[in-house]
Structure 1
Amino acid sequence: MNRVLEIFKMNRILEVFKFSEESPLIFTQADFWIFFAVAYLIFALIYKKVSLRNAYLFIISLFFYYKTSGLFIGILIFSTLVDFFIGRTIYNSNSKVKRKVLVTISVCVNLLVLCYFKYAYFFTDSFNYLFHTNIEVFNWLSYWGNSFSDQGYFTVDKIILPVGISFYTFQTISYSVDIYRGNLKPLKSIVDFGFFVSFFPQLVAGPIVRAESFVPQIRKATQISVSDFNRGTFMILKGLIKKMIFADFIAMHFLDRVFDAPEMFSGFANVMAMIGYSLQIYGDFSGYTDIAIGLALLMGFKLPNNFDSPYKADSAGNFWKRWHISLSTWLRDYLYIPLGGNRKGSTASYIILGIILGGVMLAFGNIYMYIMIPFLVVTAVLGARFSDTIKNHINTNINIMLTMLIGGLWHGASWKFVIWGGLNGVGIVTYKFWRKISPYEKSTHLLAHVWKVFFTFLFITFTRIYFRGNSMAHIQRWYHQVAHNMDWAHAWDILVHYQMVFWVMLLGYVTHWLPYSLKDKIEDLYGKSPAPVKIGLAVVVGIICYQAFSTDFQPFIYFQF
């Protein structure tokens, strides 16, 4: 009997160190908080020794990623090694040509890895559609890995997307580019650099940490003030509420049912589901980043703010200054400005735009697109030839559109994501012209501001059908219900039947639209409260969240990006 108990205990211990797709380490799972409690206890014993602290955080970050993504940890280590040594070589080189070649290699290697894992199906399907072929995706890395063994461990007929690859790829690119630009000195230790790339709170879903802001913190001594601790715990509690109440609860009890079969629900239900989805994706993503920021503060590190009440935005451009700020600013500094920004166009701009427009025409596959897009291109070319002012406007707007189109493609390997990005680009460009003739643009009246915020919210919400829809056919079914089957007669029945969901939605939006001053007072009140009150509040939040918890695994939405 004792032997059986010993074997059982040993198996339980071994399970802790094994990867399981069914139970990855994520912030809403009890396993993560056990992991963090143990990790933080050890951190508290060694944090005063900077080198040891960094090595320790690097190791547990790798363990965290292994528990989240399994053998894909090899891709993370590969990216770390490549950019560490390229970064050092760029800094030590006096040759401008060599430096440019090295930074190009860094960018290309990172993007090739990203494209292989994230866009293999997208490129293959697009090629098959264009040339009427039937090429199938084949995982050459798995095939190569299997050649070292007779067991055939890896599947060769599909390519699985590693969690977080889009985030840490952009981080390693920013490191090499910032060194090339002279904005940053390279880290001397590969352990320190590995810690920067893999820091576990933000590793798999951001925020995207820029090297120039995080690297200087790596060699500093840990300083955790009372204010940092209070803010850190507050952000964690706030993030859990956003994720588990305002995102998961409404998704499980209403949104997923509608989106899984839009034709089974009225147009009114589909519209309400889209409004709910705007709250879900905000609660899900900003909830993750709130927890990430809070965890980092508890360890003495500051991550960038990623959201600024985005549904208070009064235009599409303003929205993207408030939503996923770390991505928006990354695209601005490493894509929009290099393409020419608001000053000029470039050959790369026109080539990329041509490829994307061709793809959009193929994705829609209807006569209207085949007529409209060439007409717009010809009109733009003629206008640019006869007026420098028009030419400058066209170049600026092309760069805006490209940034948004590529930003859409970053979010997902599908033309529907490109369309979603393009619609947001159109919204930004259209507003640039509209504000010049708008009768209420400069109005300080409350109703004018409310109208602009409301209209922006509707635009952002209903373009997201391309983000949420599983396919173009799925999206068309949603549009059909909204256009032909609103069924206003039974709208009240929908509200009553799902009343708990709609009350939660209302509460979520009300708290989002609260004034900044009131939110600051709430956080300040939490910080000044005694420890027993904080503990009691944490217990209450835990109980509320897990009352709404489902046994179904609810991953964070941005894990897929």
Structure 2
Amino acid sequence: MVFSSMIFLWAFLPIVFILDKIAGKSRKLQNLILLAASLVFYAWGEPRYMWLLLVSILANYVLGLVMDKTQTAGARRTALILGILANLGILGYYKYFNFFINTLNKVAGRELLSMKDIALPLGVSFFTFQAMSYLIDLYKKKYGAQKNILNMALYFAFFPKITQGPIEKYRDFEKQLNERKQSLSLMGEGIRRFVYGLAKKVIIADALGSCVDRIYGLDLANVNGVLAWIAIIFYSLQLYYDFSGYSDMAVGLGKMFGFTLVENFNYPYIASTITDFWRRWHISLTSWFREYLYFSLGGNRKGKLRTYINISIIFVATGLWHGASWDFICWGVFHGFFMVLERLGLGKLLEKTKVIKHVYTILVLCVGWTFFRVGDVGLTLQYLKRMFLPWMYTASGFAVQELVTNRAFFLAACGILGCGVLQKCAVKISPRAEKFKNSTAELIFCMLLLAYSVMLMVSSTYSAFIYMNF
């Protein structure tokens, strides 16, 4: 089940919402209702791996209790290590087993080990990272262990964040389990946020995505420089509106039930450098790697060389987190290279410019997203040749109009404005633009967005969220 489906909008969400409100101020009953709903939500999309989620919840719950009751440093450390190995073991087997076996066989030049038919469990990259953050912070005594296994299960499985995050740290979620506040204003804010997220996904991301699929589905000989640039610009917008749309819906759903989830995006495409981009893109993942891996490696406290090595390690890990393939590793290494380059002095040079720094950032991102989308290093290099040497690749058996509609160009233009450009201009030109929030005009606008989104959902085919694959 996904947020942008009719079954979720017209059956699951209304039923859970009504039951939650009937429960009133009984937090225990509300938590039980939300937990049951979350397990149904997960089982709807991934019934065969329901046991894996439950085992993960139970194992981390027990290890947390053991760590909390044990006073000796050695025993606590042992429990922590067991917990991290168990969580990484789940992630490693289901997500990376075939990748490592395939790599080993290629290096050896023959089949040393056979690959297995392993499907990726829904949300495994997200709930295992949440589990590790819970155990690590518990080991550091930032809080006590959760004694109520139902509350622990709700932290793991809360349906707005189980499949694609945000990666919520337990210390931010803990108090909300029993002390969250609910109000009509918060509920209204959540509904508005959900509608905007749904519109991002259904109206913009899906429309651009169909054009992207058509272009990347062509034989390479039919892709000229113009089509290559259109494809990657559209994909950059599709990816942002798809994932940030989901995150908006997750945050909105959280507010509807009284929870405040962390923000995952802050207009990343107006970033002035790659360093700035990673402060704005997938914020919950970036902060997780910074806090639990980068600082553990020493951060920037052990000299410049060690800092550059640590940054490189972080971005190799970031690439691997996104997918078990060399394309994602190359994407991570590529971003890590520019992060190091900016620390070496490029960042200071860019800050002296007004336009060049943004052009540089967008170009780097477009190259990186090509690795991200194409899925083959050799093929990616061919697309990059067409992008940066367009005069060498001008032939195509298809006209642009056959692959990209005028509506798609219009939505792409709207998408570019909505990436932060329009918001910055509105604040500078007229402070009254802020008065649009919570106004009658915005209510009407949201109703129209919802109606149009539902119409598109009814008339179009199902399109999964991109980050459900990670």
User: TM-score range with shorter-chain normalisation?
Assistant: over 0.9
Taking a change above 3 Å as real, the CA distance of residues 299 and 78 of structure 1, as seen in their structure-2 partners, is: same
Aligned match for 2:361, one of 440, 451, 456: 456
State the Cα distance separating 1:518 from its structure 2 match: 3.6
Corresponding position of 2:260: 302
Residue type at the aligned position of 1:177: I
Question: Aligned AA for 1:79?
Answer: S
Alignment match, 1:322: 280
Whether contact under 8 Å (1:268, 1:486) holds in the other structure is: no
Shift of 1:480: 4.4
Aligned to 1:181: 140
Q: 1:557 aligns with which of 439, 448, 466?
A: 466
1:514 — aligned with what? 422
Q: Distance in 2 between matches of 1:434 and 1:409?
A: 27
Matched residue SS, 1:219: helix
Match of 1:36 in 2: 13
One-letter amino acid of the counterpart of residue 77, structure 2: K
What does residue 298 of structure 2 align with? 340
Q: Which one of 494, 502, 505 corresponds to residue 400 of structure 2?
A: 494
Q: In the alignment, what sits opposite 2:309?
A: 398
Say whether 1:421 aligns with 2:332. Answer: yes
Q: Distance in 1 between matches of 2:397 and 2:413?
A: 17
Q: Secondary structure at the match of 2:299?
A: coil
Deviation at 1:234, TM superposition (A): 1.6
Q: Gapped runs of 5+ residues in structure 2?
A: none
Whole-Å separation in 2 of the counterparts to 1:506 and 1:491: 26
SS at match of 2:354: helix
| Residue 48 of structure 2, aligned match among 52, 60, 71 | 71
Q: Following TM superposition, by how much is the alpha carbon of 1:477 offset from its aligned partner in structure 2, in angstroms? A: 3.5
Rg larger for: 1
Closer, same or farther: CA 240–486 of 1 in aligned 2, 3 Å = farther
Q: Is the 8 A contact 1:103 1:177 kept in 2?
A: yes
One-letter amino acid of the structure 1 residue matched with residue 7 of structure 2: D
Residues 463 and 297 (structure 1), Cα distance of their counterparts in 2 relative to 1, 3 Å cut: same
C-alpha deviations, 1:331-351, integer Å up to 9, x for none? 00011010111112xxxxxxx
Deviation at 1:250, TM superposition (A): 1.0
Structure 1 residue 251: Cα displacement: 1.1
Alpha-carbon deviation of 1:453?
Answer: 1.7
Please give the alpha-carbon distance, in whole angstroms, between the structure 1 residues aligned to 2:279 and 2:130. 19
CA pair 51-546 structure 1, distance change in 2 beyond 3 A: closer
Q: Please list the CA deviations of residues 159-216 of structure 1 after superposition, one character each: whole Å capped at 9, or x if unmatched.
A: 0001110000000111111100111221110000000000001110010001111112
Deviation at 1:273, TM superposition (A): 0.8
- 1:285 equivalent to 2:243? Answer yes
Partner of 1:469: 374
Distance 1:162 1:47, change over 3 A: farther
Name the structure 2 match of 1:20. none
1:500 Cα deviation from its structure 2 partner = 2.0
Find the counterpart in structure 2 of residue 217 from structure 1.
Answer: 176
What is the aligned counterpart of 1:170 among 129, 135, 140? 129
Distance in 2, matches of 1:50 and 1:312, equals 41
What is the distance in 2 between the residues matched to 1:559 and 1:325? 17
Q: Distance in 2 between matches of 1:56 and 1:475?
A: 47
- 2:343 is aligned with 1:432: yes
Contact 1:167 1:203 in 2 (8 A): yes
Displacement, 1:229?
Answer: 2.0
Is contact 1:241-1:541 (8 Å) kept?
Answer: yes
Alignment of 1:116 onto 2:93: yes
Matched, 1:271 2:229: yes
Aligned 8 A contact 2:38 2:159 in 1: yes
Counterpart Cα distance in 2 of 1:499 and 1:490:
20
Match of 2:153 in 1: 194
Match of 1:369 in 2: none
Deviation of 1:263 after TM superposition, in Å, equals: 3.3
Shift of 1:82: 0.6
Alpha carbons of structure 1 residues 202 and 121: separation in structure 2 relative to 1, 3 Å: same
Of residues 452, 456, 469, the one that matches 1:544 is 452
What SS does the aligned partner of 2:4 have? Answer: coil
Give the alignment partner of residue 215 of structure 2, picking from 233, 237, 258.
258
Query: Per the alignment, do residues 47 and 405 of structure 1 end up closer, same or farther by CA in structure 2, a change over 3 Å counting?
Result: farther
RMSD: 2.3
Q: Secondary structure at the match of 1:27?
A: coil
TM-score, length-scaled by structure 1: 0.78
Structure 1: distance between partners of 2:12 and 2:348: 57
Give a deviation string over 1:127-176, Cα, whole Å, max 9, x none.
101112314545xxxxxxxxxxxxxxxxxx50000111000000011111
Distance 1:107 1:251 in 2: 37
Aligned partner of 1:99 among 76, 94, 101 = 76
Task: Say how many residue pairs are matched.
Answer: 461
Q: 1:274 to 1:491 in 2, by over 3 A?
A: farther
Structure 1 residue 437, shift from structure 2 partner: 6.2
Partner of 1:356: none
Mapped contact 2:224–2:390 kept (Cα < 8 A): no
Please say if residues 411 and 417 of structure 1, whose CA atoms lie closer than 8 Å, have aligned partners that are also in contact. Answer: yes
Which position in structure 2 is the counterpart of 1:481?
386
In structure 2, relative to structure 1, the CA distance for the partners of 1:511 and 1:463 (3 Å cut) is same
Q: TM-score scaled to structure 2, two decimals?
A: 0.92
- Contact 2:367–2:384 under 8 Å retained in 1: no
Which residue identity is paired with 1:494? V
Identity of aligned residues (%): 30
1:504 to 371, 390, 411: 411
Per-residue deviation, 1:248? 0.5
* Offset at residue 56 of structure 1 (A): 1.5
Deviation at 1:226, TM superposition (A): 3.5
SS of the residue corresponding to residue 200 of structure 1 reads coil
Amino acid at match of 1:541: L
Q: Distance in 1 between matches of 2:432 and 2:35?
A: 36
One-letter amino acid of the structure 2 residue matched with residue 416 of structure 1: D
Preserved CA contact (<8 Å) 1:234 1:523:
no
Pairwise CA distance, 1:527? 1.2
Report the CA distance between 1:233 and its aligned residue: 1.5
Deviation of residue 553 (structure 1)?
2.3
The verdict on how the C-alpha distance between 1:521 and 1:290 changes in structure 2, with shifts beyond 3 A counting, is farther
Q: Is this contact kept in 1: 2:386–2:393, CA < 8 A?
A: no
* Distance across 2 between alignment mates of 1:172 and 1:524: 41
- Pick which of 507-516 and 410-419 moved more: 507-516
In structure 1, distance between residues paired with 2:242 and 2:94: 24
Compute the displacement of 1:540 (Å).
1.7
